[in-house]
Amino acid sequence: MGVVNLARVDERLIHGQVMLTLSQKSGVNSIFVVDDVVAKDKFMKDLYKSAGSRTGKKTIVMTTEKCKYYWDEFKFKEYNCIIVTKTIDTVYELVKHGIPMTDVNIGGIAQKNPDKDILVTKSVYTNKEDALKLKELKDNYGVENIYFQATPAASSTSLETVLTKFD
């Protein structure tokens, strides 16, 4: 059975030194890019597979539904992966589906709605709804560690700290 070593939300998905550093985490042998748009675009899919291969890890690009199916049918086989998504919604959907994750890193999200999204760390905008989804995952679905950190060398901000910004 496979394991999700880390889930990361970053609109850039795989980029630069960040994924190279994260992929060195003990036991990681693969990167799952879970994004419906990228998975359905051959050029983008090939681009991300190529970028992921620079880490030396097998990189699989799939839709959210395919990721759920791969868990349900195969429990991710022997893959000890990092799951990378563009949105908190995707991680939320995967965890609620039953894919176990203990660590979720929010690394980079741009502002979409100036009326709702606030800057919670140097590189992350989020809104109250998404922050509450993360809280639900921590409170009810076994996600032990949810933190905001753009790069492994940057300081980390806890979910609890981010939630205070919405009081």
pLDDT tops 90 at residue 89:
yes
pTM score of the predicted model: 0.94
Among 53, 51, 93, smallest CA distance to 71 is for 93
Contacts of residue 163, Cβ cutoff 8 Å, sequence gap at least 6: 131, 135
Q: Range of 13's domain?
A: 3-166
Q: What backbone torsions phi and psi does residue 141 show, to the nearest 5 degrees?
A: -130, 15
pLDDT at position 23 is: 84
DSSP tag of 24: T
pLDDT at position 21 is: 85
Q: Indicate the average pLDDT of the chain.
A: 94
Q: What is the number of other CB atoms lying within 10 angstroms of the CB of residue 27? A: 8
Distance of alpha carbon 30 from alpha carbon 78, whole angstroms: 10
Mean pLDDT of 126-133: 97
**Token pair belonging to 17:** 């030194």
Q: How confident is the model at residue 2 (pLDDT cuts 50, 70, 90)?
A: very high
pLDDT tops 90 at residue 52:
no
Percent of residues, the chain, with pLDDT higher than 70: 100
**Token pair belonging to 18:** 């960040």
The CATH number that applies at residue 47 is 3.40.35.10
Distance of alpha carbon 142 from alpha carbon 49, whole angstroms: 30
Please state the domain count of the chain. 1
Percent of residues, the chain, with pLDDT higher than 90: 81
pLDDT at position 132 is: 97
**Token pair belonging to 154:** 């940057």
Pick the residue with more confidence: 16 or 145?
Answer: 145
Pick the residue with more confidence: 139 or 57?
Answer: 139
9 - beta bridge partners? 85, 106
